Amino acid sequence: MNSELRQDIVSGDWIVIAPKRAKRPEQFIKKEKRIKAPIKGCPFENPQKSGHSQPILIYQRPTTNNQQQNWSVQVIPNKYPVFVHKDICPAVSKNGPYSVIEGIGHHDLVITRDHHKNFPLLDKKTAVLVFKAFQKRYRMLAKDSCGAYVSIFHNWGPKAGASIYHPHYQIISIPVIPPDLEHSLDGSADYFRKSKKCVHCVMIEWEKKIKKRIVYENKSAVVFAPFVSREPFELRVFPKKHLPYFEDTKKEDLELVVEALQKALIIIKNKLNDPDYNFFIHTAPILNKKNYKHYHWHIEIQPKISISAGFELGTGIEITVVDPDEAAKILR
C-alpha cells in the first residue's frame, strides 16, 4: 500500500498512513523489559506519611474497617499541581498582543494501593472503583463555577510522562476548553447540524459493519483501531449507547466500558510486550454542559511507540507507519 492522506471525520485534521516506512509491524514490539521501581521509598505507598494531604475521597478494602491503613483507592490533591484552586475565578488579561489567564483550577491524583498492578492488572472491582472515583470527583469539580473542562488521564511509563512508577491517575480542571477537544466538539456539532446524527455513533456503526478494525466488543462497549490513527496501534473505547457525559454514565454501562478498557490494555501489554502508553477520557465540558448533547464520550489509548519528527512538528500532520487494519489484526 502506498502512503495515503486521511482526514479525521470529527476534527478535520489530516494524517498520513505510510506503511512502507516500516519494515514490518513487529518492529514496534518493545524489546527491553520494564524496570520495576522498589516499594521502599515510594511516595504513594503511604501518601499521607510521605507528606501528601488527607484524601479528598478514600475507598477501603472490603476486608477491613481501617481506611487509613487498608485503603484500595484514594483521591488526593497533587503535591506539585499545575493548576491551583482559588475562590476567585481568573479573568483574561493582556500582555501586549497576548491573552493571559491565571492557572486557577484543581489538580488531583487517584492512587491505587498495589504498587505493581497498573490498570489492566487490577481486579474488576478495583478497576470499576477507579472509574467511580473519577465520576465522583468529576461531579464535585463540576460545581466549581470557575471550571470549563475536567481532564482525566493516565500516564504509564517514562515515555508516557510518568515520573513515579506506582500506578496513579490524574484529574485536572481548567478554566478553558482545550484546543484538541474544541476541534472534536466543533466537528461533531457541525456533523450533527448537517445530518442530525452523532458522528461517533456513525463511526461505531461503520466499524461494527466492516469488522476490520474491531479489537474487542461486549454488550455495552466497543474497542477499535481508528481509521484515522495518529499513532501506531492507537485504540479507542466507546460506549455503544449515545452518552455525551462521562459523569452521568450509569453503573452497568460504566462497568462494561471499564471491562473493555482493561481488555484493550491487556491486549496491548501482551501483543506489544508492555509498551508505555497514555489513556485519556474525552467528554463534554462542564461549562455550558447542556450545549453538547451531540457529543459522545470515549477513551483514547495511545501507545508510545513512535516519535514525532520534523514533518509532524512543522505541519501538524502525524505520520502513522502501521495501517490501522493491520494493527487491529495483530492485536486481535
Say if residues 308 and 257 touch (Cβ distance below 8 Å): no
**Average pLDDT of the segment spanning 81-99:** 93
Which of the four pLDDT bands, split at 50, 70 and 90, describes residue 32? confident
Tens digits of residue pLDDT in 193-241: 999 999 999 999 999 999 999 999 999 999 999 999 999 999 999 999 9
Query: Does 23 score more than 80 pLDDT?
Result: no
Q: At 262, which CATH number?
A: 3.30.428.10
Cell numbers that stand for 234 in this block: 492507537
Taking the CB of residue 33, how many other CB atoms lie within 10 A of it? 8
Residue type, 199: V
**Average pLDDT of the segment spanning 86-105:** 93
Cell 454514565 locates to 249
Closest to 173 in 3D by CA, of 287, 52, 59, 57: 287
What is the pLDDT at residue 26? 62
DSSP states of 34-99 = PPPPPSTT-TTTSTTTTTPPPPSEEEE-TT-S-TTTSEEEEEEE-SS-SSB--SS----EEETTEE
CA-to-CA distance for 168 and 165, rounded, in angstroms? 8
**Average pLDDT of the segment spanning 291-301:** 97
Tens digits of residue pLDDT in 248-276: 999 999 999 999 999 999 999 999 999 99
For the entire predicted model, the pTM comes to 0.94
Tens digits of residue pLDDT in 145-202: 999 999 999 999 999 999 999 999 999 999 999 999 999 999 999 999 999 999 999 9
Query: Does 65 score more than 80 pLDDT?
Result: no
The number of distinct structural domains making up the chain is 1
What is the pLDDT at residue 308? 84
What is the pLDDT at residue 27? 67
Look up the domain containing 298 and give its range.
4-331
Which of the four pLDDT bands, split at 50, 70 and 90, describes residue 83? very high
Residues 6+ apart with CB under 8 A from 327: 25, 213, 225, 229, 232, 233, 234
